[in-house]
Chains A and B, each alone.
Chain A
């Protein structure tokens, strides 16, 4: 549990800083500090057990079928890293409190920092490698936020993006590698994998798996040739650089190399891939660092170089080298973090990081200067500091390593790299702090407040103490952590400043003296450097990105050119290809179901359908005509439903047909009445082929289905419709009971569609749309008798009858064809008739119903009926029924589902009316029609000649 707590604390704590920043910057920083401190204390409580060689575990099943579980474990190696992350995190928080200016949003910074910290601790404590991958990606994401923290600076954004792309793509490769590793080892738990070393190394998948995992580790740890993102990530605030590039982010790749060392290391492939990459990175980056004028760039390349050093040591594959690598991880974290902090102080105080504008700062800022000089000497590998210890071990290991049969090449290159390393370390000292004091600093420097120099001072104290008393300070920790890396095969070693005259000491001497000479001849070195070809990594990277963007843009515009015609053609063609592939790939035997006899009336109706379809395709430019044909086709479809035992469907189809045609007529009023010929013959042929293939495919597939027998789940519905749902119309019972939840969703969709229509039309009178509407002139002759007396009188007389029919259809719906949907459509049509007869304005004035409220009432009624079932302890929408005795009528069955059906009814009436009434309202406004005084254009009572009236009397 405590292990999970260490990981969880920073994530949960990340909520605090953004909230507490309102209470001030100190409160915010203190809260962040306390969160990290608590996590560190929980970790330290485990120290006795871990140093005693125990492996602590925490296991929680998450997705066991995928092999993804929340499994943590803590051994010496994980303890070392978690300790570094949390301890240095504490120092960074203090430093950042004083580094960030008032304008910088500190709450956000601290939250990002804690997120990153949590992700890092997650990586180093994960037992399950899939869980590790999740934390791995989280570090990429949270470091993106940290590097791009100053998001107003283009460098910050570009650097963050580059880091994300490089480490993110590495992460993808890592995922593939880890999956392979899990497959090979038969488990995703590290504790199992690490004990399967022989199995993993002998697997045929070893090399691809190794390459993929190294792809992830090398990008994260900025190994050559993926090193270029790290210097650009220096656009981050210095606390971020100090944290990410000393102890955390870039160490994640190194961590993984060490973590998987027992399972992967020791093969030839491992040696040549890892050790060579590390060696090259170490030498090349040290050379580049020597000539960087930006303090942080110098430290960035030196970080790359030192990461290369550790990578090389792990790559050697010997327990001794691995132990040296672990020791250097500790040492590098201490001195490099301190150096970044001093670089930040120099930048903060002098307002520049350009080495050419600095020098002689020792007298002006003695405290900072002392810290920086000690840390830099450690980086150079000077005794008696801790950098010397690990560099000696490194040279010792390098001196005893053969590379392709050569005894010398590794040793020489390592010495050269150490020489460059000494040179740039000396440059950091002599070109910045020592030398003549200047009078042209951009800002006159002095030592920063205590809170800013205390964190690097603590680190430098460690640098010195480890150098003098290595066995006391880090001895036990090194033993357990190196022991965990080497799988218990700890070599004989002694940590001491003096081992006598050894090859390593001589190499070290050469490196130090050579480094000093090289710095003395720095100008000559610069000239030498200008002779080499120096590829600009950023330009290459951005060129690559541009290329990828150009490709994807070409691909996107080829597919997505904004033409609906093209999208539809592609989509339908794809569906045709998929459909035909499936159809032709299956057995094409004829079906065995007995076919149904086709009477002559069915054949003739079929003929009408085919003729109508052909007519609508040929004559589709005449829009009114095509609309009439749609009506005819709808009628044929409802006839088919009627004939084929679906009376409910026939009723629904025919009433929907009416409202659809009215709706399209209303819309067509504003649209052009003809479609101009536009497509050329080629386009028409293409569309014809697509359409023909689609029709043929559907027809064939449907015929194949219809001629085969099937099994259905409807027997249950048929058997329980009367006994369970209380109705004999099984379709209606399915709608309001068995699948009531479906129907409930559907009426909500219908209501939303109607409200959207209202929103689209209600605002249509504004802007360009409104101007066009007001300038609109009818393009068709209008009847002089727009509201004919016959129709007005007829519809008025029909209204109560039609409403009664609606009620009847509603009531009988549970047992006979009918129900809420059909009744709603019938009532809506009856009301629409009034609008058609007397015009929108006249009818609307007399309609005292708010259609919005009707939709809402309908949805609520349906919902409440469903909820009512809860009070009886039944599930949502379960219905019941009873019999009521009504005088005169007799026994009447009342089902609770009726309340639901009433909701359906109201929603359908409301939706249809809201849509159509608003469409006709727009029409009235656009035609600038006056609200007529009466229901008819001609008032019959005024037609009577007054002169005749007395005579009639």
Chain B
């Protein structure tokens, strides 16, 4: 199981990094989403892998998994959503402002797709 989780995180990181290095904004966002999955799993994994021991106090259990990384990751997931939403809106706005969805915000001497489509 440890091998599965760590290799899974590794695969997520690899594809996330590859996408983050692309030239257009949308793949970068997809890459960021993959990276945030990977990071959340990584932090969660710092509490080690335990099954059937959720940190809900009960009379039937005498041991629990580490609740602290879970609490950290829970807020991290929500914050990651907030940040993703913000970046999505920023790239949308910059695309509408510049007419380009290149990560560097400009493409000289080229009619952009949006301008072509709107017939200008």
A residues sitting closer than 8 Å to B (CB atoms) are 562-565, 568-569, 572, 593, 595-598, 602-603, 606, 609-610, 613-614, 616-617, 620-621, 623, 626-627, 630, 633-634, 637, 640-641, 643-649, 652-653, 656, 659-660, 663-664, 667-668, 670-672, 675-676, 678-679, 687-688, 690-692, 694-696, 698-700, 702-703, 705-707, 709-710, 712-714, 717-718, 721-722, 728-731, 734-735, 739, 742-743, 746, 749-750, 753-754, 756-757, 760-761, 764, 767-769, 772-773, 775-777, 779, 815-817, 821, 825, 908, 911-912, 915, 919
19 A-B pairs (CB sep. < 8 Å)? A572-B20, A606-B7, A616-B15, A647-B54, A652-B77, A653-B40, A675-B24, A695-B10, A702-B9, A729-B56, A730-B56, A731-B55, A746-B79, A750-B78, A775-B120, A776-B118, A912-B81, A915-B85, A919-B92
A754: chain B residues within 8 A (beta carbon): 82, 85
Residue of B nearest to A633 (CB): B37
Q: Are A722 and B57 also in contact (CB < 8 A) when A568-B20, A645-B52, A714-B67 are?
A: yes
Known: A667-B91, A743-B75. 16 other contacts (CB 8 A): A562-B104, A565-B23, A613-B12, A637-B41, A640-B8, A646-B44, A649-B70, A660-B33, A679-B22, A691-B14, A699-B13, A702-B6, A729-B57, A735-B75, A757-B86, A817-B54
- Asked if A769 and B20 sit within 8 Å, CB to CB, the answer is no
A703: chain B residues within 8 A (beta carbon): 2-3, 6-7
- Asked if A699 and B85 sit within 8 Å, CB to CB, the answer is no
Most buried by A among B5, B42, B93: B5
In the docked arrangement, what's the CA distance between A621 and B24, Å?
Answer: 10
- Asked if A597 and B1 sit within 8 Å, CB to CB, the answer is yes
Q: Are A816 and B56 also in contact (CB < 8 A) when A667-B88, A712-B68 are?
A: yes
List residues 26-62 of chain B with CB under 8 A from any CB of chain A.
26-30, 33-34, 37-38, 40-42, 44-58
In the docked arrangement, what's the CA distance between A702 and B8, Å?
Answer: 10
In the docked arrangement, what's the CA distance between A603 and B40, Å?
Answer: 20
In the docked arrangement, what's the CA distance between A640 and B40, Å?
Answer: 11
Q: Are A609 and B11 also in contact (CB < 8 A) when A565-B103, A750-B79, A816-B56 are?
A: yes
**Shortest Cβ distance from residue B99 to the other chain A in the assembled complex, whole angstroms:** 6
- Asked if B4 and A670 sit within 8 Å, CB to CB, the answer is no
In the docked arrangement, what's the CA distance between A687 and B104, Å?
Answer: 17
B28: chain A residues within 8 A (beta carbon): 564
Residue of B nearest to A729 (CB): B56
- Asked if B78 and A656 sit within 8 Å, CB to CB, the answer is yes
- Asked if B26 and A668 sit within 8 Å, CB to CB, the answer is yes
- Asked if A779 and B117 sit within 8 Å, CB to CB, the answer is yes
- Asked if B6 and A610 sit within 8 Å, CB to CB, the answer is no
Residue of B nearest to A663 (CB): B85
- Asked if B74 and A648 sit within 8 Å, CB to CB, the answer is yes
- Asked if A695 and B77 sit within 8 Å, CB to CB, the answer is no
- Asked if B71 and A699 sit within 8 Å, CB to CB, the answer is no
B18: chain A residues within 8 A (beta carbon): 617, 687-688, 690-691
B1: chain A residues within 8 A (beta carbon): 595-598, 602
- Asked if B92 and A667 sit within 8 Å, CB to CB, the answer is yes
Q: Are A596 and B104 also in contact (CB < 8 A) when A610-B8, A670-B96 are?
A: no
B103: chain A residues within 8 A (beta carbon): 563-565
Residue of B nearest to A641 (CB): B44
Q: Are A776 and B114 also in contact (CB < 8 A) when A626-B27, A757-B89 are?
A: yes
In the docked arrangement, what's the CA distance between A691 and B12, Å?
Answer: 10
**Shortest Cβ distance from residue A713 to the other chain B in the assembled complex, whole angstroms:** 7
- Asked if B101 and A671 sit within 8 Å, CB to CB, the answer is yes
- Asked if B78 and A919 sit within 8 Å, CB to CB, the answer is no
In the docked arrangement, what's the CA distance between A816 and B54, Å?
Answer: 10
Residue of A nearest to B75 (CB): A746
In the docked arrangement, what's the CA distance between A911 and B56, Å?
Answer: 29
